[in-house]
Amino acid sequence: MTILLHGIGFGLVTASIIALASVAFSLQFSVTTTPNFAHGELLTVGAYGALIAQTLTQMTSAMSADQLKDMLSALVVLFREFGDDSQRADAAWGWRVVGNAILACGQPGREILEAMRTERRGADQRQDRWLAWVAYQVLCVPQSPEKATLCEEKEAVETHTKYAPPFPGWRV
């Protein structure tokens, strides 16, 4: 019975994503009278990525230690793609869902993100400024789809002053 309910829920979520993409296509076409299907494709890929990350986040409690280790390794590789040399189309926002999934892995995930926030790599011991910044954002500026996280301005300023690396600048 539980599997049936999960299947129905997954089907509804998938159907909602497809419906949202089709509404976006029809709205965009009716307003501009030009079929530009790239926007819908990006929306669909982003929505599926968020769905997969959210599903992985919820599954961590049911995973064995080996499965959790393997998932965490894959997520770390993906998260590192958002560093200084990132050429990803979703470089400005895609790191958040991956970082939240790493954080959901508990203490090992938190330790990995903390190491990314402070590490220096290569022969010149250069810090990856964007990787440090997004790791700080995941660790110290929590964001969750389930609840709004509010804090006092003084607390936010103190946390930023204590933990934030220098802002690496805007992505172009």
Average pLDDT value for residue range 11-24: 80
Q: Is residue 169 part of a domain?
A: no
Domain count, the chain: 1
Q: Is the model more confident about 59 or about 78?
A: 78
Average pLDDT value for residue range 136-165: 78
pLDDT at 15 over 90: no
Q: Is residue 8 part of a domain?
A: no
Phi/psi at 22 (nearest 5 deg)? -70, -35
Cα separation, 159 vs 134, whole angstroms: 15
For the entire predicted model, the pTM comes to 0.61
Looking at 14-23, 45-54, 106-115, 154-163, which range is the least confident one? 45-54
Q: Which of the four pLDDT bands, split at 50, 70 and 90, describes residue 43? A: low
Cα separation, 26 vs 111, whole angstroms: 45
pLDDT at 30 over 90: no
Q: Is residue 57 part of a domain?
A: no
Residue 111's pLDDT is 93
**Mean pLDDT, the chain, whole residue set:** 79
- Give me the domain span that covers residue 98: 65-163
Sign of CA dihedral 151, 52, 99, 64: positive
Residue 154's pLDDT is 82
Q: Which of the four pLDDT bands, split at 50, 70 and 90, describes residue 17? A: confident
Q: Is residue 130 part of a domain?
A: yes
Q: Which of the four pLDDT bands, split at 50, 70 and 90, describes residue 126? A: confident
18, 21, 22, 23: CA torsion to nearest 10: 120
Which ranges constitute the DSSP H helices of the chain? 2-32, 38-59, 65-80, 95-103, 107-118, 129-140, 153-163
Q: Is residue 32 part of a domain?
A: no
Q: Is residue 30 part of a domain?
A: no
Neighbours of 69 (CB within 10 A): 13
pLDDT at 129 over 80: yes
Which of 51-55, 88-92, 100-104 has the largest mean confidence? 100-104
Residue 113's pLDDT is 92
Q: Is residue 5 part of a domain?
A: no
Residue 114's pLDDT is 92
Neighbours of 83 (CB within 10 A): 20
Q: Is residue 81 part of a domain?
A: yes
Average pLDDT value for residue range 41-47: 70
